[in-house]
Amino acid sequence: MAPEQAEPAPDAPRSLDRSLLSGLVGFEAFLYGAVAILLATAAVLVLVGTVHELAHAISTSAGGVDTAVTVLDRILLLLIIAELAYTLRFVLRTHKIAVEPFLFIGLIAVVRRILIVTAQFERLPSTGRLLTNFLLELGLLGFLALALAIAVRLIRHAESSAD
């Protein structure tokens, strides 16, 4: 008596899996393209808004420090958008998510917040709960900046030792 051989699986489920995978890859490419367009739009809007606000501040003789903080804040926001665009391009090229660009985005965001908080320091009373909250936030932001910088250093060290 000859052993029974299993019948080969039908081709229909495999072709369905392939077409489903192909559809998901196409949808993913569409989403990445839409995100890239939205990031570019956001960058242009921030740039135009910054130039407009700078021109308005110059024409109204606004305070130099406030204007400089605003421009620096917008520049850092543009750097965040640029890092996101770089990360998106890296993901599209390699199909891998990298951690390091997100750490840089976090670091830029922390520096942005530190600048905003310290610019508001002049308007705070010299004592009281607001000052305590300000110092606490500034201390936590400083700790977070240090932690993110250490994380970037550790990742670079791990990548260099892996090579």
Residue 124: is its pLDDT beyond 80? no
Dihedral sign of CA atoms 131, 72, 43, 106 in order: negative
Check residue 128 and give left, alpha or beta (phi > 0: left; psi -120 to 50: alpha): left
Give CA–CA dist 18/32, Å, rounded: 21
Residue 120 and residue 66: Cα distance in Å, rounded? 9
Put simply, whether the predicted model's pTM sits higher than 0.85 gets the answer: no
Q: Name the burial class of residue 107, with classes exposed (0-12), middle (13-18) and buried (19+) by CB atoms within 10 angstroms of its CB.
A: buried
- pLDDT tens digit string along 41-71? 999 999 999 999 999 988 888 778 778 888 8
List the chain domain ranges: 20-96, 99-163
Structure tokens at 117: 């908080």
pLDDT in tens, 102-119: 899 999 999 999 988 888
Q: What percent of the chain has pLDDT over 90?
A: 42
* Tally of CB atoms within 10 A around 111: 17
